[in-house]
Amino acid sequence: MKNVKNLGLTLIIAFGSAFVTLWAYTQFFEEPQVVRVEEKQAMQYANLPSAPQGEAPDLTYAAENSVHAVVHVKVTSKEDVTTYSNPFYDWFYGDRYQRQQPRVREGSGSGVIISSDGYIVTNNHVIDQADDIKVVLNDKREFEAKLVGRDETTDIALLKIEAEQLTALKFGNSDALKLGEWVLAVGNPFNLTSTVTAGIVSAKGRNIGINRADMSIESFIQTDAAVNPGNSGGALVNMNSELVGINTAIASQTGSYSGYSFAIPSAIVQKVIGDLKQYGQVQRALLGVGISDINASVAEKFDLAKIEGVFVGSVSPGGAAEEAGIKENDVILSVDGVSVNSVAQLQEQVGKHRPGDSVKVLIKRDNKSKPYTVTLRNMHGDTEILTADVNEFLGAKFDNVTENEKYKLRINQGIKITELSRGKLKDAGLREGFIITHVNKQEVSGVNDMRAIVKRAKGGIFIEGVYPNGERAYFVFSTEE
């Protein structure tokens, strides 16, 4: 967020209507189909050369081939709102006269069809807490959408509609984007469907601090293509009509476009939706280092000959980096041959991989470069792929805690029990709705955290947490049968 703060701007999520809650490699899908054009026209527009100096580029091919693959995402959510029949009664008699009245909130955003059989990618903040999701195609057909999976750390969600032979966008290589390259933003700002705007790539690898989720990845493509509320989840395409990003946020003092917009690179999007489709959750690969950007003061303090790369401030004991030979005060110059000069760029390159993948990391130590091969690990320190059934454990099913619940209950993390059947948790007295925040005094942000803690434990398990009404509770049970 520091880059935007320097401009004195307020970051605004590009998400329309009243439903505004903050929190829009390998090919895993079948080959997407794009709008068919006559061979002569395709030859005319494909690989368009740069426009002569003083002339605007021809963006018609990109616009015509992308607009039919961008959809309108409409969401509704239901909540109970507390009202009072008489404020004077409330003053004298407390809240005995309060009533719970249902309220429906509506919102909208955009999405991109990425396979002809109905898979659609959008932003997580577009569908967060939605009870119903509808997708309206460019030809006005409307479908109920199923949420396949979502990832708060990258603000990506994957939807599925029951339809065939849809127009889809091919993925482009976001790593190959160059500063000054022309791009189009396609979406539904202010409920104005099928809107196309144009601009250039203004910057890459931007970390604007807008994603508050733990272990979030931010390495935005910054453009000056006009993006407004409702554009969230829409497409950022290059001149060949390839999807190179998902439009997500704007920087503005007013809530409307002021010249800066940000998109999630397609390299990250492909990895996330591939994981969601194949495993039901994102497989996060970790390097096992504490890192920071390098500036003049860091270079002077550690006698670095050049300001480049990412500084390694710490190395996790027994982690992937330490095992490979990387040390504290090293400088990471590149990952698999891609130069990294900021924390955001390094996170983007590592974020493309899964636990168990090996990457080539170029390290500078004592101003000399040396390559290392690092086998990435998951959050538990091993190389296993986490399966979708991890949301069931000890006779319970769990869900993530929303940002609103965290704020309301004043907690930083936790997992919420959604269903209980016969098992140790029910026997210990836990009830549905209870949010587990700590197990054996260790923080729990996901079911995998709890699973790993219980696996390591010997004897008793001590659970701490809170119910939705704010009541805190503690439970103890034994791991022994």
> Per-residue pLDDT tens for 128-174?
888 899 999 999 999 999 999 999 899 999 999 999 999 999 999 99
For the chain, the structural domain boundaries read: 2-277, 289-375, 390-478
User: Phi then psi for 155, rounded to 5 degrees?
Assistant: 60, 45
Q: What is the pLDDT of residues 41-52, one digit of tens each?
A: 333 334 444 455
pLDDT at 419: 83
Give the pLDDT mean for 449-477. Answer: 88
CATH of domain 390-478: 2.30.42.10
* C-alpha span between 76 and 106 (Å, rounded): 4
Q: Which of 187-191, 237-241, 373-377 has the lowest mean pLDDT?
A: 187-191
DSSP letter, residue 286: B
Q: CB of 231 within 8 A of CB of 185?
A: yes
- Concerning whether 155 is annotated as a catalytic residue, the answer is yes
Q: CB of 24 within 8 A of CB of 235?
A: no
Q: What is the pLDDT of residues 4-26, one digit of tens each?
A: 434 333 344 444 433 333 323 22
Count other Cβ atoms within 10 Å, centred on residue 368.
Answer: 8
Q: Which of 108, 202, 232, 241 is catalytic?
A: 232
Of the pLDDT bands very low, low, confident and very high (cuts 50, 70, 90), residue 450 is: confident
Reported CATH class of domain 289-375: mainly beta
Q: Which of 66, 108, 110, 155 is catalytic?
A: 155
Q: Which residue has the higher pLDDT, 390 or 92?
A: 92
Q: Is the pLDDT of residue 358 over 80?
A: yes
- Concerning whether 232 is annotated as a catalytic residue, the answer is yes
pLDDT at 457: 83
Q: Which of 72, 125, 353, 438 is catalytic?
A: 125
Mean pLDDT value across the chain: 83
Task: Give the three-state DSSP class for 13.
Answer: strand
Q: Is the pLDDT of residue 185 over 80?
A: yes
Question: What is the pTM (predicted TM-score) of this model?
Answer: 0.72
Count other Cβ atoms within 10 Å, centred on residue 90.
Answer: 14
Task: Please state whether beta strands 142-144 and 146-151 pair in parallel, antiparallel, or not at all (unpaired).
Answer: unpaired
pLDDT at 26: 26
Q: Is the pLDDT of residue 30 over 50?
A: no
Exposed, middle or buried: residue 371 (CB in 10 Å: 0-12, 13-18, 19+)?
A: exposed
* C-alpha span between 406 and 412 (Å, rounded): 6
Q: Which of 49-53, 55-59, 401-405 has the lowest mean pLDDT?
A: 49-53
On the CB side of 73, CA atoms within 13 Å amount to: 40
CATH-assigned architecture of domain 2-277: Beta Barrel (2.40)
445 CB-near residues (< 8 Å, 6+ apart):
214, 413, 414, 415
Give the pLDDT mean for 217-224. Answer: 95
pLDDT at 46: 41
pLDDT at 61: 95
CA angle 346, 352, 354 (to 5 degrees): 115
pLDDT at 279: 85
Q: CB of 135 within 8 A of CB of 121?
A: no
Q: Is the pLDDT of residue 81 over 70?
A: no
Q: Which two tokens stand for residue 26?
A: 């390998």
Q: Is the pLDDT of residue 107 over 70?
A: yes
Q: Is the pLDDT of residue 110 over 70?
A: yes
| Fold equal for 289-375 and 390-478 | yes
Q: Which two tokens stand for residue 152?
A: 């708060």
Q: Is the pLDDT of residue 80 over 80?
A: no
Measured in residues, the chain has a length of 481
pLDDT at 334: 97
pLDDT at 1: 37
Element (DSSP H or E) covering residue 84: strand 70-84
Q: Is the pLDDT of residue 298 over 90?
A: yes
Q: Which of 73-87, 178-192, 277-291 has the lowest mean pLDDT?
A: 73-87
Q: Which two tokens stand for residue 441?
A: 């005094």
Q: Which two tokens stand for residue 189?
A: 């700002």
